[in-house]
């Protein structure tokens, strides 16, 4: 007989699943292991999830839900979006084992319901709808590529391996004297993306305004 009160909640199951993946990698997650960690039978998980893929999707949403908050009311999108992009990168780096799930899924793993609030606010603030998805896609793509780059050990200070410095002296010198951290590089590129899209917004708006017919007064 099914208990009147569920033994576990969907969120609790996702939190435990995420802990498993963070500790032991994506391949360590299974229905059986998750059920054991929660102290329930495997069948109990099917009250909340259709299959393992549904769990993976839920984990991605759990990680990214707070990132897609649209900031305080009254804050311009030009101020909110850079902070949002930084938060996205931090979330990805906090759960590097989940990156394959995010990369493989549509729109870099961001569910449509998570993007909708961002798109709605941008359009409310006057960003032309034609520019919204290029803007969000560009920021998401760079956040994912940056996180992948760092997660595999290509971050600042990761130069030639043992004994390779003598074979690649220029690379070793460049790495040792690197003038910008990964965070600084990320901020610079995000700023460039926003500046470019900001210009595109102004150009798009100007084109739309010029296409609106100007009423001509009829002669008396």
DSSP 21-36: HHHH-GGG--HHHHHH
Q: Which residues contact 23 (CB under 8 A, 6 or more apart)?
A: none
Question: Could you tell me the pLDDT band of residue 144, with boundaries at 50, 70 and 90?
Answer: confident
Q: Which residues contact 182 (CB under 8 A, 6 or more apart)?
A: 146, 150, 155, 156
Alpha-helical (H) ranges within the chain are 10-24, 31-38, 42-45, 52-64, 77-94, 99-104, 112-124, 129-151, 169-176, 182-211
Mean pLDDT (the chain, rounded): 81
Tokens describing residue 98: 């989940």
Tokens describing residue 97: 């084992």
Residue 27 has pLDDT above 60, yes or no: yes
Which range of 6-20, 21-35, 106-120 scores highest in mean pLDDT? It is 21-35
**Which letter does DSSP use for residue 218 in this model?**
P
**Which letter does DSSP use for residue 126 in this model?**
T
Distance CA 119, CA 125 (A): 10
- Number of Cβ within 10 Å of residue 95's Cβ equals 20
């Amino acid at each position: 007989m099914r208990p009147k009160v569920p033994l576990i909640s969907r969120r609790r199951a996702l939190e435990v699943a995420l802990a498993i993946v963070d500790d032991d990698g994506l391949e360590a997650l299974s229905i059986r292991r998750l059920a054991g960690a929660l102290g329930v039978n495997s069948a109990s998980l099917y009250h909340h999830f259709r299959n393992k893929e549904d769990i993976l999707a839920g984990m991605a949403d759990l990680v990214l839900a707070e990132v897609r908050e649209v900031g305080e009311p009254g804050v311009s999108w030009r101020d909110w979006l850079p902070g949002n992009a930084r938060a996205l990168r931090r979330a990805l780096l906090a759960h590097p084992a989940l990156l394959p799930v995010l990369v493989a899924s549509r729109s870099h793993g961001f569910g449509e319901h998570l993007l909708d609030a961002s798109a709605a606010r941008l359009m409310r603030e006057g960003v032309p709808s034609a520019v919204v998805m290029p803007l969000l896609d560009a920021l998401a793509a760079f956040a994912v590529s940056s996180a992948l780059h760092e997660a595999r050990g290509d971050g600042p200070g990761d130069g030639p391996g043992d004994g390779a410095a003598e074979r690649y002296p220029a690379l070793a010198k460049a790495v040792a004297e690197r003038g910008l951290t990964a965070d600084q590089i990320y901020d610079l590129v995000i700023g460039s993306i926003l500046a470019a899209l900001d210009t595109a917004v102004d150009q798009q708006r100007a084109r739309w305004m010029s296409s609106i017919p100007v009423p001509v007064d009829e002669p008396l």
